[in-house]
Amino acid sequence: MAKKTIDFHIVTPERTVYSQGVLEVTVPTGAGEITILPNHIPLVSTVVTGELRAKLKDGTIHPFAVSSGIVEVQPSSKVVILADRSEFAMEIDVKRAEDAYKRAKEAMKAHYSAVDVDYARFEALMNKELNRLKIAKKWK
């Protein structure tokens, strides 16, 4: 008997990052990491910066770096992630991610006040770049 799959999509403002049937999806949410299987109850939750993993029918894991967004689980075993940014771990350019992390860290130092809006923006950017680096190095 064939295993039931999830119709899984990751969409960012720039592109559809991923669109394929998978066995399960593990998503970093505001309430912690959740794993979604076929026939999961309907759900809408926030997605936080972290590692998202999709498991294919053959057992292969497709890892993604993802930043803030929303996950929607529909009753028809369809899962849609709307993310500010997401990329397949194997596509991440480690050198560019390291450079972006360093730039964000320097900009954050220049805005030393923790109440400064720019400080918070640069801190979030630094965390996103650090997440990209961590995932790229883990899966390459």
**pLDDT for position 1:** 45
Residue 72 contacts residue 91 (beta carbons within 8 Å): no
pLDDT block averages, 10 residues each, the chain of length 140: 84 96 97 95 96 96 95 95 93 85 77 62 78 85
Residue 6 contacts residue 23 (beta carbons within 8 Å): yes
The beta strands (E) that lie in the chain are given as: 6-11, 16-22, 24-29, 32-36, 43-47, 50-55, 61-66, 69-74, 78-83, 86-88
**pLDDT for position 111:** 63
CATH class, range 92-139: mainly alpha
**pLDDT for position 127:** 82
**pLDDT for position 100:** 81
CATH of domain 6-89: 2.60.15.10
Backbone angles phi, psi at 123, to 5 degrees: -65, -45
* All structural domains of the chain with their residue ranges: 6-89, 92-139
pTM of the model: 0.81
**pLDDT for position 82:** 98
Torsion of CA 117, 123, 125, 126, to 10 degrees: 160
Residues 6+ apart with CB under 8 A from 87: 17, 64, 65, 132
